[in-house]
Structure formats: C-alpha cells, structure tokens
Amino acid sequence: MGPNIAIIGAGPTGLTAAIELKRRGLTPTLFEARNCLGGQWAYEVLSDEPVDIRDPQSQSVSSAMYPRLWTNLPKYSMQISDYPLPEELQPFPGRVDVLDYISATAKAAGIVPLIRFNSPVKQLSKVAGGWLLETEEKREIFTHVMVASGKDSHPNIPEIEGLDSFDGPVIHSQSYRLPEIHEGKRVVLIGACVSSEDISLDLSPHAEQVYICGTFPPNGHKCYVRDGLYGDGFNISQHARPKRVEGNKVILQNGEVLYDVDTIILCTGYIYRFPFLEGELDDIELSGQTMGPLYLNMFYPTDPSLIFLGLPRFTVHFANVHLQSVYCAQILSGEQSLPSLADIQKEAHDGSCVLQRLPSDLNAYHECAFENFTKLCKLSGEPNLDWQRLLTELNDHKRLHQQYYRQYPFEFKLKEMPFPDT
C-alpha cells in the first residue's frame, strides 16, 4: 500500500504538490481552511472598519489581496506545473486573472475533488505510524504531511515606541483593501519594499499625503528609491525609519517629524508560524523571520515525513514550489530515495538552510536560495533555469521605468544553465 498523504493548504503551493503526486499515481487529501481554493489569491471581503492590529477583537484575515493588485513578477514565472497561463494575459496580470488561472488549473488537473474545504487543521501531532491530523470533524493518521499553508499568514508587527497609543488606526498591509476610505488623509506606510510601493501608488489618487518610512534602498534594491514627490497625485515621498509615535505624530530616526498623521499601515511582511504544530517542533528554531534547520529547506530533519513547501522568501515562488513538489513526489512515489537520516540531519545543520538567514541580508539570502534551486534541479532531473538572472534583469527594468514598469514590455528568455562543478 502506498503512502497516505495530507496536504495542508489549497493555494498554488498545495495544488502544485497535488498535481505532481497525482501524476505519479498518488492520491493526496488537501485540507483547505476556507470555502475556496487559491490561497492568498482568493480575495476576501472585509468590513469597512479598519482591522486595527491593536484590537484583539478585530476580524482575522486570510488573504492580502486588494482589488487593484497586480503581480510584480512576469506571468511566465507564475506557471503551475506544465499548465501555461493564457497567452492573452498581460505580462504582469491582475489578481483576478491569476485566481482564474489557478482555479482552471485545479479543475483541469482533477485536484478539486481531493480538497476538503472549510477544514482548518487544528492540530498535527507525531504518533506511531505517522501524523495525527485533527480538524473540527475528524481525526486521521497520515504517513506523510506536506505543509503548504503559506508563509504570508501571520503579520510581522515591529516594535515601535508609542505605536500602541497612536490616535488613528494602525493596520497591516494584509488587511488593506480600498484606497477610497483614505480619501484626503495623511497616511504613513512603514516598510520600504514591494507592498509599500504598490499600496502607496494605489493610495496616491485619494490620500492627501503618503509617506513611506523605511530603509532606502531596501535590502539593496535601488529600484524602489525615488527622488521627490511621485505617484498619480504627486504626493508620495520617501523618509527614514520611524523612531517613535506620539499622538498623531511620527518621529523618524533622522529627527524629521511627520505631523497630523491619520493612519499607519505596516508594510512589514510576515513571520513564520504554524499554530497547528505548536509543541511539536522543539528542535526547530522558529523565531519570526527565520526558521530551521530543514533539509533542502523543506524536510523536517528529525522525521522527513513532515515536509514544508514554499517557505523561502524573495525568490521566484512558483518555480521554487515546482522544483520542491517534483522532488517530493519522486520521493513519495518511490522513484527516488532520500539519503540516510544521519546524512539528512548533517546537511540540514551545515548552514545551507536559507530559512535561517535573515532576509535583510538579501545578497547572502539569494545566493543560498538559488544554490538550493540548482541542487533541486540536479536531484529531480529538472532543467536548471537561470531564475536568479530573471530577478536581476527585472530589478533593472523596475529601476528604469519605476512605478510604470508594468506598462513597458519586459523581454527575458529563460536559459538552461549548466550545473556547477562539485
């Protein structure tokens, strides 16, 4: 009898894993907390009241999508398995097009019948014979569990003096939806990378003033640095990191003071957290923005029947998930075997786990992450494509065209790279 496999999450990551398993004759069970597939790409309507991060009674949020969100990676980098995106889509598609593609792919691949919707996993525990997975409805044992619930579910809330006493709402970018509710307001965005760039541009036609406060260039990304006022309303400006908050004032590290601020939006990313595994991973460091060690950034080294998919940040997510899913499916179907447990643990602890590196050291993070891409290509027999060069040239494209980069053609042809000598 083959392995009995559970996949937690029916977003693009879980769907990719299910497709590769099904292709090899395995039938996984997918557990999805919501009533729809698509993960983060499935839009979630929120109330008009701000989801203030200081209010424990605020509604929980499952998706960071907002109506006018567009991808920041080209469409061909977002392909699931061998199901291409429609040719007619724009080079940088909108969220609706991406969700439609994800849904169509799940149906075409026959994955939808394998999904249990409205089934959040309450607890996952190691037991004799596998892993005990508990939902509200039942308790089941699986020989293998693939955690595909994502890395962008639990907001990273920075410690800023006085933030708790700010006079207006403090929200996280996860719950940002409509710019109209910020009409005529002065909005501070804390954080200086992708989400603050896109949300500031969405706000610009409506807000009186949009201040982006952070470290420039963020992680060495000069493509996010702007001079003077910009945006459709010519009202976006870039500033130093916040030092403290007093009433409706934000005092910055360089001494500048932003007055009469109406709203603060935290564009500060997310932390690694898996509530259903609390108490089970005592030998894994799980401290907010770092996690590990994991063999190949996915296998739990104490028991590799527990697998984490899609956790590395600042890479080409769909490509990474594809490589991980192919290799895992080869292992679980018996096409390949993992090394010995001793070798897995040795390699997991030798510093190669990218998840243990702080993303702020982006050059080191990228180097390690794409070394892992190459390793997975070699192990799985997949072509070693130059995804790292894609990101480099895309950043050049963004630096050239700045906030209008999606409106300009981005020509890049992926090439297969030789494997480095080892």
pLDDT per residue over 350-361, tens digit each? Answer: 866 777 776 666
Looking at residue 360, its pLDDT comes to: 67
- Give the confidence band of 282 by pLDDT, cuts at 50, 70, 90: confident
Give the sign of the dihedral formed by CA 44, CA 46, CA 50, CA 51.
negative
Strand, helix or coil at 238? strand
Task: Give 50's pLDDT tier (boundaries 50, 70, 90).
Answer: confident
- What integer pLDDT is reported at residue 363 of this predicted model? 66
Instruction: Supply the pLDDT for residue 369.
Output: 84
Go through the chain and tell me how many residues it has.
422
Give the percent of the chain with pLDDT over 90.
78
Hey, how many other C-beta atoms are within 10 angstroms of the C-beta on 364? 13
**Average pLDDT of span 392-414:** 92
3-state secondary structure of 171: strand
pLDDT at 264 over 70: yes
First to last CA, the chain: 38
Q: Name, in order, each residue with C-beta under 8 angstroms of 144's C-beta and a sequence gap of 6 or more.
A: 3, 4, 5, 6, 130, 131, 305, 306, 307, 332
Asked if pLDDT for residue 281 goes beyond 90, the answer is no
Element (H, E) at 105: helix 95-108
Q: What pLDDT score does 283 carry?
A: 87
Please report the domains of the chain, with CATH numbers, ordered by start residue: 5-51+62-154+271-407 (3.50.50.60), 157-268 (3.50.50.60)
Confidence (pLDDT) at 421? 74
The backbone region for 265, taken as left when phi is positive above 0, alpha when psi lies in -120 to 50, beta otherwise, is: beta
Residue range 145-159: mean pLDDT, rounded: 94
Long-range contact pairs involving 180-187 (C-beta distance under 8 Å, separation at least 24): 180/206, 181/48, 181/50, 182/206, 182/207, 182/262, 182/263, 183/207, 184/208, 185/262, 185/263, 186/211, 186/258, 186/260, 186/261, 186/262, 186/263, 187/211, 187/261, 187/262, 187/263, 187/264, 187/265
Q: Do the beta carbons of residue 41 and residue 99 sit within 8 Å?
A: yes
Dump strand ranges (E) for 293-393.
Answer: 306-308
Provide Rg for the chain, Cα atoms: 22
CA 170 – CA 175 distance, rounded (Å): 11
Does residue 362 surpass a pLDDT of 90?
no
Q: Please, which pLDDT band fits residue 227 given cuts at 50, 70 and 90? A: confident
Task: Provide, rounded to the nearest whole percent, the portion of the chain with pLDDT above 70.
Answer: 95
- Cis peptide bond prior to 312, omega within 30° of 0: no
Q: Considering only 170-179, 280-289, 351-360, 372-381, which range has the smallest mean pLDDT?
A: 351-360
| Residues 295-347: tens digit of each pLDDT | 999 999 999 999 999 999 888 999 999 999 999 999 999 999 999 999 999 99
Mean pLDDT of 26-44: 97
Residue-averaged pLDDT of the chain = 93
pLDDT for residue 241 is more than 90 = yes
Mean pLDDT for the stretch of residues 33-37:
97
**CA within 13 Å, CB half, 312:** 32
- For residues 371 and 289, which has the higher predicted lDDT (pLDDT)? 371
* Angle between helix 387-401 and helix 362-380 axes, rounded to 10 deg: 140
- Residue 284 — pLDDT band, cuts 50, 70, 90? confident
Residue 260 has pLDDT above 90, yes or no: yes
Answer yes or no: is pLDDT of 65 > 80.
yes
Q: How confident is the model at residue 202 (pLDDT cuts 50, 70, 90)?
A: very high
The answer to whether the CB of 324 falls within 8 A of the CB of 380 is no
Query: What integer is the mean pLDDT of 125-139?
Result: 96
Q: What is the pLDDT, as a whole number, of residue 366?
A: 67
